[in-house]
Structure formats: structure tokens, C-alpha cells
Amino acid sequence: RTLYTDITEGFYTAIMAFSSQSKLISPMSLDAQFAKGMLGTMYIDMPLQSEGAFKSLLQSINTVINPDHNTIVMIMSDGHSLPVISPRVLKKLHRKSVSFIIVGLGPTVNTPIPILGYSGEVIDYVKNSNGVTVLKSQNRASLNDMASALQGKFISIQTEDTAPEIYEKLRSVLYDHHRQLVSKRAQNQSKDQYFIFLIAAFSLLFIEELLVLKKGR
């Protein structure tokens, strides 16, 4: 929620939840306050069955991305139940101006997963179908592999990190990726325009030569 305090007018945002399948929590919109409010509706083991055909997280991301915009995707996960990276979807994403930030969450050793109340207090721990408390740790290897496949950046959040430290770490990498995307798009547009004008110049020269040859005959 704190990151949304930095999002000003002119930035579209969307929020998705995922665990083997994805669900759009907040659609791509300029209304950052609505997205910020929808974060409060998310909870562990929330139902993610969405209407229509089944979609993986990356398929959903590709669907909502506008190819004319610079897009930064921040995926927060403990590294378990990561989405399958389809080569076809990956190819589509690479065609767009999109940058990925993979944020590793959770402790480095097996620890119970707390279920928090709205104010942040621990009200229980995640249990399996047999009622046994689930122990998990941050799977850095899987998160690193995902960041590599998506040509993105992986950053790990440590359990000892304070809230202000986490905020500054995410804010810094977010703004750094934004600057890189804007710079990259500006360079690509400059190259594309130069190439178009070059073709136009050669075309005119070619037409001129044809006219000269025809007049000579």
C-alpha cells in the first residue's frame, strides 16, 4: 500500500493474485486509490477461480499490457507454485516494452506461514488438509531462474528487514526500471524514425534516377 503513495496521476496500475492460476483483483486503471483499497481484500488461500478460460499469470499479464505503454511487472512470491513460463507467451512479452522485478518473500529457513488480520496481527497459521501446520521458506533458486527467464531483476526481502527498509528497496528498483524503460523506448523510437527516413531518401533517389534514365532514352 505504501508504494501506491508514490504513484501519481498518469500511471496505470493493476493487481493480480496467483497460485497455479491467476485472478485479476484490480483492472488496469488510473485509479490508484481503488487499487490500493483492493489490496485489503486479498488474503492467504483466497479462491482464485476466474471466469472464462484458465489463464496463467504471464498470460494474464500479457493480456492487460498495452504495447504502447512502458510497463513494469513486480511479482512478489516465496518461490513456490510459480507460474509456468510458456515460450509463446514469453515471446509476446519480449515484443513489448515491459520490465520484470521478482521480489522474494519469506524466511530463508522453514517457518510457519502466518495468517494476518486486517490490522496485521497473527490470527493463525496456514495448515494442510490434515490440519498440520505448513512450513515453507523462500525458494531463491526458483525465483532467480524466473528472473533470468524473464530477463528481469531478482531482489530478496529478508525477514529482518524493517518496513521502511523494504519500502525503500522496492521503491528504488521500481524507479530505476522506469527510467531504463523510458530511455530504451526513446532510443528505439529514434532508431526507427532514422530508418524510415533513410528508406524514404533512398526511394526518392531511386525514383529520380529512373526519371533521368527515362528522359535520357
The whole-angstrom separation of Cα 111 and Cα 109 is: 6
Q: What is the model's pLDDT at position 143?
A: 93
The whole-angstrom separation of Cα 56 and Cα 86 is: 9
Closest CA relative to residue 1, chosen from 17, 15, 11: 15
Closest CA relative to residue 190, chosen from 198, 179, 200, 202: 198
Q: Do 194 and 112 contact (CB within 8 A), yes or no?
A: no
Q: What are the cell numbers at 47?
A: 479462491
* pTM score: 0.74
Q: What are the cell numbers at 43?
A: 488474503
- 7, pLDDT greater than 80: no
Span 93-131, pLDDT tens digits: 888 888 899 999 888 888 888 888 777 788 899 888 899
Task: Say which amino acid occupies 17.
Answer: A
Please state, as a whole number, how many other Cβ atoms lie within 10 Å of the Cβ of residue 197.
10
29, β-bridge pairs: 13
Mapped onto helix, strand or coil, the DSSP state of residue 208 is helix
Helix segments in 47-162, DSSP class H:
57-64, 87-94, 140-149
Lowest mean pLDDT among 11-15, 171-175, 177-181, 211-215: 211-215
In the structure, what pLDDT confidence band is assigned to residue 201 with cuts at 50, 70 and 90?
low
